[in-house]
Amino acid sequence: MNKYESLDFLGEGGFAKVFKAKRKSDGKIVAVKIPRIDEKTSRTFIREVSTWLHLDHPNIVKLYDVDILPVPHLEMEYVEGVKLGDKIIRDLDKYPKPVEENTALKLIKGIAEGLAYAHFKGIYHRDLKPLNVLLKSDLTPKITDWGLAKIGTMSSNRSVMGYTPLYAAPEHLLPGKYGHTDARTDIWQLGVIFYELLTGKLPFEGYTYEEIFGKIVDESYKFTPPSEINPELA
């Protein structure tokens, strides 16, 4: 990784570490994500992520390069985050909720436009959640981590199912009944995020994943209307 000068450690999750770096060849500031994947997974790493290279939209984080040498890594657009008080909020997961209705509409409109562009190209995210929506200084949302859902399931270091349980769509849980994940999945997860932005809560909640999953696939289940949680929406 000697082609970069590391500037800052941005964060770490169960799947990867992310650094702010300067590309030595031209001085460009980028974000470098280093996923924890084993040798077997690295063989499919480029194939799964390569579709991201074809996405170029204001509401999608631009992927500049992907490689497995000297270690598997992604070179991406650096998204600076939005300043709130004395803190820098880099993703929608950490942004305080609920938000004002106009703010929620701006965020959802931006995410939806990014999804519409990707869907037009036949590319689906399949693991849309607030953590995968980065924020610019003007609160423009940018979707990241395209193609990484499947990589996560293959990694020996990540005991997940290829989706985030609290944002799971019915087809994640019962593909035999609802079919495989596709554009519908992204739209479902966008709706869950919209609900969360307006209420500060999730539409499907419970003490266990089994309870939550049961509500998600129960077509007769009625979640609480947002206006009953947030009176300002009434």
- List the pLDDT tens digit at each of the 234 positions of the chain: 789 998 899 988 767 899 999 999 999 999 999 988 777 777 778 888 889 999 999 999 999 999 888 888 999 999 999 999 999 999 999 999 999 999 999 999 999 999 999 999 999 999 999 999 999 999 999 999 998 766 544 443 333 457 788 999 999 999 999 999 999 999 999 999 999 999 999 999 999 999 999 999 999 999 999 999 999 987
CA atoms in the 13 A half-sphere facing the CB of 77: 22
Rg of the chain on CA atoms, in Å: 18
Residue 159, pLDDT score = 37
pLDDT given at position 161: 58
Residues 6+ positions from 211 with CB-CB distance below 8 Å: none
Query: Which residues are catalytically annotated?
Result: 127
Determine if the pTM surpasses 0.85.
Answer: yes
Residue with tokens 């959640």: 129
The separation between CA 42 and the C-alpha centre of its own chain, rounded to angstroms, equals: 21
Q: What is the architecture, at CATH level 2, of domain 4-233?
A: Orthogonal Bundle (1.10)
Extents of the domains making up the chain: 4-233
**In 82-119, which positions are buried (b, 16+ CB within 10 angstroms) versus exposed (e)?**
beeeeeebbbbebbebbbeeeebebbbebbbebbebbe
DSSP state of 19: E
Instruction: List, in order, residues 6 or more apart from 223 with CB less than 8 Å away.
Output: 195, 203, 204, 215
- Quote the pLDDT of residue 149: 64
pLDDT score recorded for residue 181: 92
64: number of Cβ within 10 Å: 14
